[in-house]
Structure 1
Amino acid sequence: MIRVAILDVDGVLTYFRSAWQHLHKVLGTDNWALINRAAYSSGLINYRDWALTDALLWIGVPRTWIEIPITLRKGAVELLRFLRDNGIRIIAVSGGLNYTGIPIKNYVDYFISNELIFNEDNTLLSVRVNVENKDFINELITGMGISWDDTMAIGDSDMDIPMLRRARYSIAYNPVSEEVANIARIVINSDTLYPLIDVTKAILGM
């Protein structure tokens, strides 16, 4: 039985693996972002400091430039509708940024990500770090009265390992590493999300 599905956003529901990097490309701040990323990778700054430093590169940028339209992966809406129509609650979680939640907000029960903060004039001010890791998911589903035995988790990156390890039905979708692939019960490599619908149907006995 599946009562809740936890879906990573970047790399699963979207074609790009990082909302941060995607926005850097759009705004032309890639080169400066590489410096911040190197500082984080080498341990000079922690995740929260990296996020705040990265957001500084966009300070003063109009909201309309930042909340850019994104293309969901083919089959994303169909997958979300299928889960919802079969009574499965949906948690969309991302280590990325909240602009990726705009096209899916009407299909999910929860969307949790780092949040861009804007001034009264709708220019970017900073970022609120809500997702340094995904350990908080355990508290969330427990509060919903749901067990990991009734949970399906879908992810692609190392940040998704904790939920893939605990969920009864764990799916690595286009995994970035062998470790992610090895932890999941099912591995799917595809350009679309239609295979995930087929797998879910099989789990539900449809």
Structure 2
Amino acid sequence: MKFKALAIDVDGVITKIHSAWKYIHECLNVQEKAKVNAELYYSGKISYYKWAELDIKLWRNISYDELIKLFEKLEIREYSKEFFDFLKSKKIKIIAISGGLTPLLETLSKKLYFDFYVANDIFFDKERKLNGKFKINVTPKNKGKILASILDRLGINNNECIGIGDSEFDIPMLKLCGYKIAFNPKNEELIRIADEIIFSDTFYELYEKFRKIL
């Protein structure tokens, strides 16, 4: 099988942090209030949309530039650049799908050159301050639909796509793919459906693996 695309999660896979949302909470010292919001969601008392709304309210007055500076400080895994540069040399389309935040993916794409990226949008006013408005593009259940739409647009068959993820939210995306990699997986079903399981703090093993299969 000749592979033509890679679908990859971001938080906890490319980045060492497991949630861009939690990272911002910690940077702004609002993590305790955010825990209350999370408990409301996981107990079924509020929707995913409402959870996002409450979390974003905790960040009021942060500017776009301040947010980008925080994301620029984030560490990505060693060998990430080499890995993505190699994919580009093989003309593999790179599709990043994240339940995190679009400004983070914008920042990463400047280094890693994603062909497509989808995350959750947050909006800013004329003074470039967060205005509280947002758009949820990625939910815990729709990564598969997002990937299917992008592959259809590219004219790439599902079996020609490799998927990499680490959590249960990546399962719908990986189920579509012809080759499934669980990277530092935290979920038993993800481990069960994976063609390959990798535990590593870096992308070196991924890089070497892809040099063999592409």
- Tell me, yes or no, whether TM beats 0.5: yes
The letter for the 1-side match of 2:75 is T
RMSD between superposed Cα atoms in Å: 1.2
Aligned to 2:45: 44
The amino acid that maps onto 2:37 is N
Partner of 1:5: 6
Residue number in structure 1 paired with 2:86: 82
Match of 2:116 among 110, 113, 120: 110
Per the TM alignment, residue 98 of structure 1 is displaced from its structure 2 partner at its CA by 1.7
Distance in 1 (CA, whole Å) between partners of 2:164 and 2:39 is: 28
Q: Please give the per-residue CA displacement for 1:83-141, whole angstroms capped at 9, x wherever unaligned.
A: 11111010011100123220323511011111121111111112221111312211111
TM-score by length of 2: 0.91
Q: Name segments (4+ residues, structure 1) moved above 2 Å.
A: 62-65, 103-106
Residue matched to 2:135: 128
Aligned pairs for 1:22-41 within 5 A = 22-41=23-42
In the alignment, what sits opposite 2:20?
Answer: 19
Deviation at 1:180, TM superposition (A): 1.3
Question: Number of residues paired by the alignment?
Answer: 204
1:182 maps onto 2:192 in alignment: yes
Indicate which of 66, 72, 83 corresponds to 2:76: 72
Once the two structures are superposed, the pairs formed by residues 166-177 of structure 1 within 5 Å of their partners are 166-177=176-187
In the alignment, structure 2 segments of 5+ residues that lack a partner are: none
- SS of the residue corresponding to residue 127 of structure 2 reads coil
- Within 2, Cα distance between the matches of 1:112 and 1:166? 17
**Alpha-carbon contact 1:105-1:111 (below 8 Å) kept:** no
Tell me, in whole angstroms, the C-alpha distance in 2 between the residues paired with 1:41 and 1:105: 34
| % same residue | 36
**Structure 1 gap segments, 5+ residues each:** none
Matched letter for residue 176 of structure 1 = K
